[in-house]
Amino acid sequence: MMFSWIFIFWLLQILKFVSAIVFNISRCYYIITEEFHHEGDIVIGAFFPLHTFYTGKKMPDPTLPYQYLDNYIQYNFRNYQYILALLFAIEEINGNPNLLPNISLGFDFYNVRFTEKETLMNAVIWLTAHVQRKVLPNYNCKKKKFSAALTGTSWTTSAQIGTLLQLFKFPQITFGPYDPLLSDHGQYSSLYQMAPKDTSLSLAIVSLMVYFRWSWVGLILPDDHKGNKILSDYREEMERQRVCIAFVKMIPATWTSYFPRFWENMNETNVIIIHGDIDSLESLLRNIGQRLLTRNVWVMNIERHVTEFSDYFMLDSFHGSLIFKHNYREKFEFTKFIQTVNPNRYPEDIYLPKLWNLLFKCSFSDRNCQVLDNCQTNASLDILPSHIFDVAMSEESISIYNGVYAVAHSLHDMRLHQVQMRPYENGEGMIFIPWQLNTFLKDLEVRDNRSLNWIQTIDAEYDILNLWNLPKGLGLKVKIGSFSANAPKGQQLSLSEQIIQWPEIFSKVPQSVCSESCGPGFRKVTLEGKPICCYKCTPCAENEISNETDSDQCVRCPESHYPNTEKSNCYQKTSSFLAFEEPLGMALASIALCLSALTAFVIGIFVKYRDTPIVKANNQALSYILLITLKFCFLCSLNFIGQPNTAACILQQTTFGVAFTVALATVLAKAITVVLAFKVSFPGRMVRWLMISRGPYYIVPICTLIQLLLCGIWMTMSPPFIDQDPHTEHGHIIILCNKGSSLAFHAVLGYLCLLALGSYTMAFLSRNLPDTFNESKFLSLSMLVFFCVWVTFLPVYYSTKGKVMVAMEVFSILASSTALLAFIFGPKCYIILLRPDKNSFNHVRKKAHFRRKNSPKI
């Protein structure tokens, strides 16, 4: 519903405006001069661009929206606000009894045609005060009291007039955008700029780019000294904020709409910054509107007045544009003043009759082209739509207002100074030479008691406006935010993003990037030879994440954390160890318990059948020691399963080392006993003593003491401790026992292998000795398997990590212990349980008789 009313309003305005301009050109447009005078005791010269003359046959572009054209004259009524701002300030000052009492200000207005010859001619005519446009240098025809000149809107106009006025040290106040060239006091010592510096404007616009993540933007600037300075500022600020320039287009002074190369690559980016003054950018803005470039967001530092009715398109190139404007306090008194302006109140104003004739369909009087007939009774400039005439003061109008007050305060201070020096006589007015004002202008305090020099150097605050121009001609400028360079970092830019209207093609905040954003889990890799905003995305490396968009580097997760599969977050790792509850730990524990039970069963068999020949013949005491030790070997493997603690880590290695040392020492003692009994043909006194005193039994405690000594040194110097392995298993921290001293661990293991090698050697030497129940062959076989298991254990142990490494050590303990149990006691249990006929004294005697009968004679 609201859109329908807006459309009807827009259509009515079109019909109204079209009907207003379709009529025959009145002769009054040609006979009315282009300058006028407003009476006052002291006169200010005003040089504003309001219309341009064309003398050639080629017509100017008829699509300029806010201008009126005939065959010779092109009017820019948008700038008429400058005259109203000047008139408003002068009437305020003349009505203020405390400022320049008994002295009135007036002004002489001269149109600026944007040609150097005409501009300088008007300045000279004003200085000589000649009404017939005849130049008489250094002579004032009317003896006017001049004070200062107001010039603008471009720096070229101010520089041209300033070159002339500088010869006389004549005060000149410019209201156009601040220009560093005009601040050269060596060249323009009497020129004062009212507009503040735009030192923070590039920062403000780039901050907006950063806010919306626009990293790929275009730049359009005027091709002059100011444009080059602006480009340098943008490059520096964009490089600091990592925003890249897609292209830079400089507008030459002779630029036309038919310059084809200018429009190349315009579609490379969605956001384009237009920075310059209205004079240098006027043709560009007009041609952008004609081309209907609705795919771009234009960010500008100038207010484009939307008054186009040259076509019937509803779409507009600049709908959704963002405009940065200096933050000035609005003067509501100016709006009230505009309501009172009409041709009857200011008959000297040559432009009011033209405005009333054009906008309110009034007709000129045939007598003097001043009095208007058939006018609307309520005709007033404030009832016009804002896109035709805006009653809110523009930046230039505010600068004009401040400039007039600067002159008034300077004159007031000068008058006070003169009165103190010499009182005026009756009837004597204020006498001064214009150049004398320079001293007072430099030290003057205006506008909130701040000095004129402060006006030139402040970091101004900016309002950010959003142009709503859909349907075309609506022309609303809505404030959506602000920027203050003096605010704390991070709080300089303030935006109400939800009320922004973007160009019609965008349904949400538009993107403007060279490369698509790298999501979480990826990082940017700059392409060689390309700007930093052009990149490719590569996944983060192992154990690294990036949880932000467009990350330059991936961040490594802490040791206690692991990345998720998307590599966007780090999660806490869970503790893990070879637990009894998991399948591998449960299997190993079950095997250890089963083998321990089997060992107990074998012990029971040997105890039950202790009086049989096979048990007695194989050193019954050493067999019991070996079986009990093997039971401990199987049970010590349980220390490796379950959550490690300091006591468990120490017991793992000590019980393992001592238990296997006792087992291997017992096997060595059994092998030596066999050798001593059968290998020595003529035993001497020493051998006989060893046999009688049961010397091989001492091997077990001696070997065990040596191992205990090694373990004691190990536990004293560098004992095992609890360690963590965060790398082997994804998402887990494996808790395991660190061996502590690697040298001590290998010394214990090497000692066991040395005992195994000795036992194997002794058993191998006694393998063919004559014995009914000779176990030497089984001893050698068990030691061979034991030795192979632990030799193979080392490379496999160091090639695995985490729980598998622990499981490998448990498996080696169980395998080597099982080899001893199986190969030493397996055959005996087989005979005891399954072949009891061989476990008798008769069988032993028969076998011994057969061996003696077949033995060779000596």
d(CA 462, CA 471): 27
**What's the alpha-carbon Rg for the chain, to the nearest Å?**
53
Mean pLDDT throughout 120-142?
A: 68
Does residue 833 share a domain with residue 723?
Answer: yes
Coil, strand or helix at 342: coil
Tell me what pLDDT residue 585 has.
86
**What is the domain-level CATH number for residue 221?**
3.40.50.2300
Does residue 832 share a domain with residue 738?
Answer: yes
Higher pLDDT, 256 or 585: 585
Query: What are 688's two structure tokens?
Result: 């006989």
Does residue 293 share a domain with residue 413?
Answer: no
Mean pLDDT throughout 320-329?
A: 86
Is the Cα dihedral 657, 658, 662, 663 positive or negative? negative
Tell me what pLDDT residue 388 has.
75
d(CA 705, CA 711): 10
Higher pLDDT, 474 or 205: 205
Tell me what pLDDT residue 583 has.
87
- Residue 27: which pLDDT band, with cuts at 50, 70 and 90? low
Mean pLDDT throughout 551-556?
A: 90
Does residue 542 share a domain with residue 470?
Answer: no
Tell me what pLDDT residue 394 has.
85
Residue 4 domain flag: no
Coil, strand or helix at 267: helix
Does residue 185 share a domain with residue 59?
Answer: yes
CB 469 within 8 A of CB 476: yes
Residue 697 domain flag: yes
Q: Residue 549: is the preceding peptide bond cis (ω within 30°)?
A: no
Does residue 215 share a domain with residue 189?
Answer: no
The domain of 233 spans 201-327+460-499
Does residue 313 share a domain with residue 282?
Answer: yes
Mean pLDDT throughout 188-201?
A: 86
Whether the predicted pLDDT of 847 surpasses 60: no
Task: Name the percent of the chain lying above pLDDT 70.
Answer: 79
Tell me what pLDDT residue 768 has.
64
Angle at 638 between CA 632 and CA 639, to 5 degrees: 95
Tell me what pLDDT residue 598 has.
92
If one counts the domains in the chain, the total is 4
Print the SS3 string covering 454-521: HHHHCCCCEEEEEEECCCCCCCEEEEEEEECCCCCCCCCEEECHHHCCCCCCCCCCCCCCCCCCCCCC
Tell me what pLDDT residue 82 has.
92
Which residues neighbour 586 within 8 Å (Cβ) at sequence distance 6 or greater? 580
- Residue 460: which pLDDT band, with cuts at 50, 70 and 90? low
d(CA 563, CA 600): 50
Mean pLDDT throughout 247-274?
A: 80
Higher pLDDT, 533 or 763: 533
Least-confidence region, from 437-446, 476-485, 515-524: 437-446
Mean pLDDT throughout 94-101?
A: 91
With tokens 């103190």, the residue in question is 420
Identity at 787, one-letter amino acid code: F
Whether the predicted pLDDT of 592 surpasses 70: yes
CB 321 within 8 A of CB 297: yes
Residue 20 domain flag: no
For the chain, report the end-to-end CA distance as a whole number of angstroms: 133
Residue 147 domain flag: yes
Which one, of 167, 184, 267, lies nearest residue 225 by Cα?
184
- Residue 16: which pLDDT band, with cuts at 50, 70 and 90? very low
Residue 36 domain flag: yes
Mean pLDDT throughout 436-458?
A: 59
- Residue 677: which pLDDT band, with cuts at 50, 70 and 90? low
Tell me what pLDDT residue 405 has.
92
Q: What is the pLDDT of residues 617-658, one digit of tens each?
A: 667 788 888 889 889 888 888 888 888 888 888 888 888 888
Does residue 273 share a domain with residue 415?
Answer: no
- In the chain, % helix, strand, coil (3-state, to 5) comes to 45, 15, 40
CB 768 within 8 A of CB 741: no
Tell me what pLDDT residue 282 has.
78
Tell me what pLDDT residue 235 has.
93
| pTM of the predicted structure, to 2 decimals | 0.66
Residue 511 domain flag: no
Whether the predicted pLDDT of 673 surpasses 80: no
Mean pLDDT throughout 423-447?
A: 69
Tell me what pLDDT residue 29 has.
66
Tell me what pLDDT residue 310 has.
45
Higher pLDDT, 202 or 283: 202
Higher pLDDT, 258 or 490: 490
Residue 275 domain flag: yes
Mean pLDDT throughout 356-382?
A: 77
- Residue 321: which pLDDT band, with cuts at 50, 70 and 90? very high
Does residue 414 share a domain with residue 436?
Answer: yes
Does residue 245 share a domain with residue 103?
Answer: no
Count of CB atoms situated within 10 Å of the CB of 544:
17
Count of CB atoms situated within 10 Å of the CB of 363:
15
Query: What are 529's two structure tokens?
Result: 């030879």
Higher pLDDT, 848 or 414: 414
Least-confidence region, from 307-321, 384-398, 614-628: 307-321
DSSP 213-248: T--EEEEEEESSHHHHHHHHHHHHHHHHHT-EEEEE
**What is the domain-level CATH number for residue 719?**
1.20.1070.10
Q: What is the pLDDT of residues 390-418, one digit of tens each?
A: 888 888 898 899 999 999 998 998 888 88
Identity at 585, one-letter amino acid code: G
Which one, of 133, 129, 132, 126, lies nearest residue 143 by Cα?
129
Residue 76 domain flag: yes
Tell me what pLDDT residue 56 has.
42
**Whole-number average pLDDT of the chain:** 79
Tell me what pLDDT residue 19 has.
38
Which one, of 369, 338, 337, 376, lies nearest residue 354 by Cα?
369
CB 509 within 8 A of CB 520: no
Does residue 359 share a domain with residue 301?
Answer: no
Does residue 467 share a domain with residue 530?
Answer: no
In terms of average pLDDT, the best of 47-61, 107-121, 807-821 is: 807-821
Tell me what pLDDT residue 337 has.
93
- Residue 298: which pLDDT band, with cuts at 50, 70 and 90? very high
Mean pLDDT throughout 659-669?
A: 86
Mean pLDDT throughout 546-559?
A: 88
Whether the predicted pLDDT of 166 surpasses 90: no
CB 281 within 8 A of CB 302: yes
Which one, of 305, 301, 303, 299, lies nearest residue 322 by Cα?
299
Give backbone dihedrals phi and psi of 313, rounded to 5 degrees, phi first. -75, 140
d(CA 218, CA 274): 9
Tell me what pLDDT residue 776 has.
66
Tell me what pLDDT residue 299 has.
95
Q: Residue 471: is the preceding peptide bond cis (ω within 30°)?
A: yes
Least-confidence region, from 4-18, 63-77, 347-361, 655-669: 4-18
Q: Which residues of 247-264 are buried (b: 16+ CB within 10 A; e: fewer)?
A: eebebeeebebeeeebee
Whether the predicted pLDDT of 453 surpasses 80: no
